[in-house]
Structure formats: C-alpha cells, structure tokens
Amino acid sequence: MGNRIKNLRKQYNMTQDELGLKLNVTRNAISQYETDKRIPTSTTLSKLAKIFNVSTDYLINGNNTNFKPTLSKRDELDIQKRLERLMNDLDSETGLAFYNGDEEIDDETRELLRASLESSLRITKLKAKEKFTPKKYRR
C-alpha cells in the first residue's frame, strides 16, 4: 500500500508535508504510510482515496476495476486548438461546401457543428486514454 500512496502523491506533485496537511497528520506519519511501517486508519484511507480520486480498494489491494480516464489541462488545450483549426478550415474557401456550396453556414448551424465536433474530440481523447493507458498508471 505504501508504494501506491507514494506514487499517487508524486503523480499529484505533492510533498509529504502538503499531503499531511490535507490529511491532518504529520509528515512523519506520511513517511511511515509510504514505507509500510504504519497503516492509515479507515478515515485516513477514505480521505486519501478522495484526494487522489481512487477507490480505497485500490489503495489497499491495488485493484482498479473502475478506471475512468480524465482530461488533463493539456488535453483540454489540445482539444481547443484542434477545434479552432477545424472551425477555421470550415471558413476557408476550400472548407465545407454547405448545401453544395450554395449557402454559407448560419451562426446557429455553426455553433451546433462546433458543439458536435468538440464532443467528438473529447470522446476520442477519452477512449484513447482508456485504451492506451498502461495498467500500472491507472488509478
């Protein structure tokens, strides 16, 4: 259990002092949890699970049956950049020929298309993370 706590703490870029403050325990207690010299109480385990967005089962046994990938800030930025490029491409002369090029896209249709593309990009990114995240990094 100690290695999982330590790895999660490092993934979240937290020091032992910072984690101790969140849990209302000392840095020494965190060190002992991470080296398996001391076992956290059930209350502390629940707090750890909440802080690191994992189940208590994962902390205790390493089982992670409900891995749900999330989008990082970088993922969000990538999605927004890609979405802007797609929308700009639609505005160009070589862009979408809406109704065989007879009409331009009205604002309402443009926003619906934007929302649809953004949703598609998010789903694609989450599916890729779910499929390609190695098991040892799944929390």
pLDDT digits (tens, 9 = 90+) for 96-137: 555 556 667 778 888 898 999 999 999 999 888 877 766 666
pLDDT digits (tens, 9 = 90+) for 45-78: 999 999 988 888 888 887 765 567 788 899 999 9
Check: CATH 3.65.10.10 for 1-61?
no
Listed by start position, the domains of the chain span 1-61, 73-137
pLDDT digits (tens, 9 = 90+) for 6-16: 999 998 999 99
Q: Which of 49, 1, 7, 41 is nearest to 25 (CA)?
A: 41
DSSP H helices in 53-106: 56-61, 73-91
Q: Following DSSP, what letter does each residue of 43-67 receive, concatenated?
A: HHHHHHHHHHT--HHHHHH---S--
